[in-house]
Amino acid sequence: MRPESRINGLLAGAASLQASQASPELAKGLPFWLFWFLVCVILLLLALIFLRDKNLRRRLSSFLSGARRRMLRLRLLAKLRRETEKKAALWKDLGKKAWSEDVTAACVADDCRRLAEFEEEKRTHQMTWHEIYSRIEALSREHEEASGRFRALIKEQEDGRRPFEEERRSLGVRKSEILDAIGGAAWEIDSAESQIKALDREACAVEDNSKLAEIEKAERLNRIQEKAALLSDRIKTLHAKVPLLHEERQDLERRQTETEARIEVFNERIREVEAEQKSANRRHERELQEWLKSKERAQDRIVEIQRLMDPIFSSMGKALDESRIHVNDLPAVYFQIDAVNKAIRELEIRIEHLK
């Protein structure tokens, strides 16, 4: 009889005893201690069966340790992947070292031929890149020199314009003074004429005043006439001065117009230089962008060639590892590859045992 059958029978018996205890009719003649005695006997039999059945113990242990073994297997697989990547990197290093040391062998003849073609193309693009870089540097120097010339031309025009700007300011100040003088003279003339009219009214009042003695009346009239004469002389002087002021104002306006015209000549020349500078800057920017694009294309091709050479280095290193050609420093790389191979084999064995 199989252990599983014995266990199932014992469990069925325990279940029937428990059911009989639950039923009042069946449990009347069964002592309480006898029920628990039978349960203990069943448990003891289960323990004996478990201890004698190795397969059962192994399956139970396998079930309990399954999660731990799966985690351990995953860690070992990760280590195996890292070691495999390390081996691929060592193959690439081996191929690069053999290529740099001009190692020649039949097993790597095709790889060496392909690498030579790539190296020649890479060298050509590198020379092109350096030529483009030199051209960009020269273009930058030319642009800086041109900018310096434009700045010098603009400064020259500004220096030539500065005396006329100072003259324009001085003419403006003098014109303002003349306009103030003309306005002041007109106001003074009007004031003097008003005072003369007032003196005339005063003189009439003095003559019509019968209470005044003739001597006193004559004295007052003399004083009024003297004041009026002084005011008349001032009016004449101002009338003579005003045309001269207007003439000077017109001369100032003429000189201002001439000065503005000269300043405009310098301004026009500055605008021409600035427009020429903007045009030169645009040409420089377009040419610079074209050279930068060419430089980027050459650089991208160099990177692409290097990317295409890496698998060939790996293939070359793998072939040398299989052939074990002992030249120069290659044995040192072989030693590292052997250490990685040993680690890979050990990891594979451990993984295989965990299946």
The 10s digit of each residue's pLDDT in 35-53 is 788 888 888 887 777 666 6
By percentage, how much of the chain surpasses pLDDT 90? 42
Query: What is the spatial distance between Cα 280 and Cα 328, in angstroms, rounded to a whole number?
Result: 59
pLDDT at 27: 43
- Compute the distance between CA of residue 109 and CA of residue 320 in angstroms, rounded to an integer: 11
- Using one digit for the tens of pLDDT, what is the confidence trace for 135-175? 999 999 999 999 999 999 999 999 999 999 999 999 999 99
Dist. CA 34–CA 27, nearest whole Å: 11
Alpha-carbon gap, residue 249 to 257, rounded angstroms: 12
Cβ 92 vs Cβ 313: under 8 Å: yes
Average pLDDT over residues 278-306: 94
pTM of this structure:
0.57
In the chain, the largest separation of any two C-alpha atoms, in whole Å, equals 179
Reported as a pLDDT band with limits 50, 70 and 90, residue 29 is low
- In the structure encoding, which two tokens stand for residue 208, read together? 């019509």
User: What contacts 228, CB < 8 A, 6 or more positions away?
Assistant: 196, 199, 200
Residue-wise pLDDT for 75-92, tens only, equals 989 999 999 999 999 999
